[in-house]
Amino acid sequence: MFAIALKSHQQYKTYVLSDQATQSSLEVVPERGGIITRWQVGGQDLLYLDTERFANPDLTVRGGIPILFPICGNLPDDTYTYQGQRYTLKQHGFARNLPWTVVQQATDGGASITLVLKSNAQTRSVYPFDFEVEFTYTLKGNSLQIFQRYTNLCGTIDSLPPQTMPFSTGLHPYFLALDKEKLAFEIPAMQYRDQQTEKTQVFTGRFDAEAEEIDVLFSPLTGLATTTIDHAQKSKIILSYSSAYSSVVYWTLKGKDYYCLEPWTAPRNALNTGKLLTYLKPGASCEMLVHLSATFF
């Protein structure tokens, strides 16, 4: 049996999607960037959440699954140039910081909720395009599906003329990891680039659990799924994604009980370089899909 409940007594309204047959649940907070804050399978948590940062609206959230749009990563000095004008856009874009609107809920064949983010005066001041981004989260059994639709509304709204809209998008899952020495990864790439040193290294399936920070990008990818085995928690998480996702980023900090495995459609600074950007013509839409499944052994 699938159900959706609303927790309205908390700081933020939280939608709880559940599959009672498998003791799986998903918590979504639309007004805090449309973020997934919790995902459980068989009653066990799979995501990390820094509750103190989450409670402070002036801070970005570290935890759950933040949405990255219209850029992934950061820009030099947080700036880019479009048609001769400079704009300021902070790391990972604004979607993870803005309130989203719930437009649909369903419990037929799964528990699902659809959220929408539309452009406004605030977004146009840093990203001069009219758009609509739609996310549908669907929980069923041990799986979580994240369907996305991106639409260029330039020319359909009076404020902006028809123009092609460039963007990149991604997800930033914070997976719970109590002992990172016992993590093993299958990532479809032969090597990765350290995003701090710009050096390239061969990937062996594991990372140094004692490193102060690891921030590496896998690209190009040779497949559409990653697998993480956590021998401490006896879990296996498979992350699969549409072909539009050109890269996977692995990021973690020493002493923190999380690792991030992030599908990105384009690398850092793509709004300046144009590398692997998605371009939507006026009125056009594109769709993408990310799927997560978790099992325990």
- Nearest to 139, CA basis, from 5, 287, 288, 19: 19
pLDDT value at position 233? Answer: 95
Instruction: List, in order of start, the domains of the chain with CATH numbers.
Output: 2-296 (2.70.98.10)
Least confident of 5-9, 166-170, 280-284: 5-9
pLDDT at 280 over 80: yes
1-12 mean pLDDT? 92
pLDDT value at position 132? Answer: 98
Model confidence band, residue 9 (pLDDT cutoffs 50, 70, 90): confident
Model confidence band, residue 265 (pLDDT cutoffs 50, 70, 90): very high
Stated length of the chain: 297
- Give the whole-angstrom CA distance, residue 198 versus residue 27: 37
Give the model confidence (pLDDT) of 46-97 as tens digits.
Answer: 999 999 999 999 999 999 999 999 999 999 999 999 999 999 999 999 999 9
Model confidence band, residue 179 (pLDDT cutoffs 50, 70, 90): very high
Tell me the pLDDT of the chain averaged across its residues. Answer: 96
pLDDT at 158 over 80: no
- Give the whole-angstrom CA distance, residue 123 versus residue 69: 11
pLDDT value at position 91? Answer: 97
Q: What's the predicted TM-score (pTM) here?
A: 0.97
106-116 mean pLDDT? 97
Q: Please name the helix (run of DSSP H) or strand (run of DSSP E) that holds residue 270, with its range, or none.
A: helix 270-273
- Count of beta carbons in the 10 Å neighbourhood of residue 9: 7
